[in-house]
């Protein structure tokens, strides 16, 4: 993983965690921060670039950040 790509993915994991914990208000705030910090990055596209052994894990992450 490139150093420049690590931060957006860390933030994506945080967003997914907030959704999993049913903290939708906090998730929405993090999504806005993400969009403001990385306007050129679309979360779903970044997740698609990741490699998972189990395709359902990738889909679960995408669902949680959507």
The whole-model pTM stands at 0.78
pLDDT given at position 1: 44
Tokens of 32: 């806005």
Judged against a pLDDT cut of 80, whether residue 46 lies above it is answered with: yes
pLDDT tens-digit map of 1-44: 444 555 888 889 999 999 999 999 999 999 999 999 999 999 88
Task: State how far the alpha carbon of 24 is from the alpha carbons of 4, 9, 16, 34, 35, in Å.
Answer: 27, 19, 10, 15, 16
pLDDT given at position 6: 59
């Amino acid at each position: 993983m490139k150093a420049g790509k690590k931060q957006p993915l860390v933030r994506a994991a945080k967003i997914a965690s907030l959704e999993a914990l049913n903290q939708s208000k906090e998730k929405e705030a993090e999504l806005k921060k993400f969009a403001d910090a990385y306007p050129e990055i679309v979360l779903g596209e970044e997740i698609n670039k990741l490699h998972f052994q189990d395709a359902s894990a990738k889909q679960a992450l995408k669902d949680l950040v959507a």
